[in-house]
Chains A and B, each alone.
Chain A
Amino acid sequence: MNRLLMSKNGPAVTGLILGVTAAVLVKLGNPGNMGFCVACFTRDIAGALGLHRAGIVQYLRPEIPGFILGAFFSSVFYGEYRPRGGSSPMVRFGLGFFAMIGALVFLGCPWRAYLRLAGGDWNALAGIAGLIFGVSIGIFFLYRGFSLGAARHCPKWAGAVMPLISLSLLALLFFRPLFGAEGAGPIFFSQTGPGSQHAPIIASLAAGLLVGYLAQRSRFCTVGAIRDLIMIRDSHLFKGIVAFTAAAFITNMELGQFKAGFSGQPVAHTMQLWNFLGMALSGLAFTLAGGCPGRMLIMSGEGDNDAGIFFLGTLTAAAFAHNLSLASSGAGVGAYGIPATVLGLIFCLAVGVLFMNRLD
């Protein structure tokens, strides 16, 4: 199995299994077309921790710690655990921050963009077009020597922080301690809305660990897929997202979850310009940072501190997105989602321009 995952067909095999698993998780209780969504799940975790108080999107999604721990165990087992960091961490925090803002304007990370398409949500097409546009801008900078500088090796335990955070999140999920003011919190769980919809904990955690393992071995990356296809005509990662989408589509059909159309789609809106620009912002930020949000989680599990900082940027943005009305809803973009998207594009373009020459 390891040889297959490490081969050029590894991402396709991973995509196949991920696509089926994602559709099954929806059947088991996850929100529609949200078997996996790194952005939405991180947002739910921010809510569960009380970092934002949007009552309908609060749940400690075990898939996220599952990804990180799966990748951690896999990388340790195969001798690929390499603690490293120091490649412009604060810039990476900013890229993570605005990648999340873009994703919450669209309502999904790239993984969910493909899953929305596989569920018949045609609004995803605008998002995927935006994603390709954003990645293309990132490629423009990469061709001109864009680099955030080289990461350095770190002491062995420096890479253990994200796995420990993951274990802590799982402990909070299982024990649900109440020690906040008035006997409530600090951990919150939605009673209604998307946050209340979830597969059984064990199923979600098992799926997360499986994905973490598969993606760590195969280097599955939904942004690298587009980037490598355009930049170096290498399609092996792209086959991963084709297999992912096709497998989710077929499984959705089998399970009666496919519903084609633009309106009335789960956790989605029909403002196509902002679906496009939200994902364009995300695609640019992910490309400058070096991978899609799922890939960032996997790398953080392998000991990459810069990927961990990127994740903390996304977690922070998820909280701000709801506290400052930046996130979209089924009704459309949030009150301040448009200026936040424009600000994010300016930030990412500035990073692209300012880091066009290698630092080292």
Chain B
Amino acid sequence: MDKKVIDARGLSCPQPVIETRRALDAAAGGRLEVLVDTVTSRENVLRYGRNAGWTGSFEQENDGFRVILEKGQ
């Protein structure tokens, strides 16, 4: 996986995390960007990614956040 973007904006708990998990499980490394629209989803996705061994950061966007999870291939 080089780079993948998941749009999880507006989804109820825990769907953003489930979608993140599905993408991370399918990748040995790379960069995953998850779009979310609440602080709760942002923190949940970041926590899951970091617990799974990925580095996590986020950027503020107009209508939410872009959570960036990265791991060396």
Judge whether B48 and A232 touch: CB under 8 Å.
Answer: yes
Over the window 223-245 of chain A, the binary record of Cβ atoms lying under 8 Å from chain B Cβ atoms (1 yes, 0 no) is 01001100110101000000000
Give the contacting residue for A150; candidates B11, B17, B21, B39; CB below 8 A.
B11
A142 B37 Cβ-Cβ under 8 A? no
B34 to chain A, nearest CB (A): 14
Contacts A6-B43, A87-B10, A232-B48 given; does A82 touch B15 at CB 8 Å:
no
B59 at the interface (CB under 8 A from A): no
Instruction: Tell me whether A228 and B14 are in contact in the complex, defined as CB-CB below 8 angstroms, given that A234-B47, A234-B51 are known contacts.
Output: yes
Q: How many residues of B contact A (CB 8 A)?
A: 19
Task: Give the docked Cα–Cα distance between A82 and B54 (Å).
Answer: 29
The reply on B27 being an interface residue by CB < 8 A is no
- Inter-chain CB contacts under 8 Å: number: 52
The answer to whether the Cβ of A148 comes within 8 Å of any Cβ in the partner chain is yes
Offer 11 A-B interface pairs, CB within 8 angstroms, sorted by A: A142-B14, A142-B18, A150-B9, A151-B11, A153-B63, A219-B43, A221-B13, A228-B14, A231-B18, A290-B13, A291-B12
Are A143 and B18 neighbours in the complex by a CB distance under 8 Å?
A: yes
**A232-B33 Cα distance, complex, nearest whole Å:** 20
Q: Are B14 and A150 in contact (CB under 8 A)?
A: no
Docked complex Cα distance between A236 and B43 (Å): 12
Contact B47 A153 (CB under 8 A): no
Cβ A224 vs Cβ B14 within 8 A: yes
Contacts A80-B39, A234-B47 known; A224 to B21 CB distance under 8 Å? Answer: no
Q: Closest chain B residue to A223 by CB distance? A: B13
* Contact between chains at B38 and A82 (CB < 8 Å): yes
Could you tell me how many residues of chain A have their Cβ less than 8 Å away from some Cβ of chain B?
28
The answer, yes or no, to whether B73 is at the interface (CB within 8 Å) is: no
**B36 nearest CB across to chain A (Å):** 11
B21 touches A232 (CB 8 A): yes
For the complex, is A116 an interface residue (Cβ under 8 Å from B)?
A: no
CB distance from B41 to the nearest CB of A (A): 10
Q: How far is the CA of A54 from the CA of B15 in the complex (A)?
A: 39
Q: Which residue of A lies closest to B51 (CB)?
A: A234
Judging by beta carbons under 8 Å apart, are A152 and B10 in contact? yes
Contact with B along A129-173 (1 / 0, CB 8 A): 000000000000011000111111100000000000000000000
Cα A224 to Cα B13 in complex, Å, equals 8
Q: Which residue of B lies closest to A289 (CB)?
A: B12
Cβ of B43: which chain A residues have Cβ within 8 Å of it? Answer: 6, 219
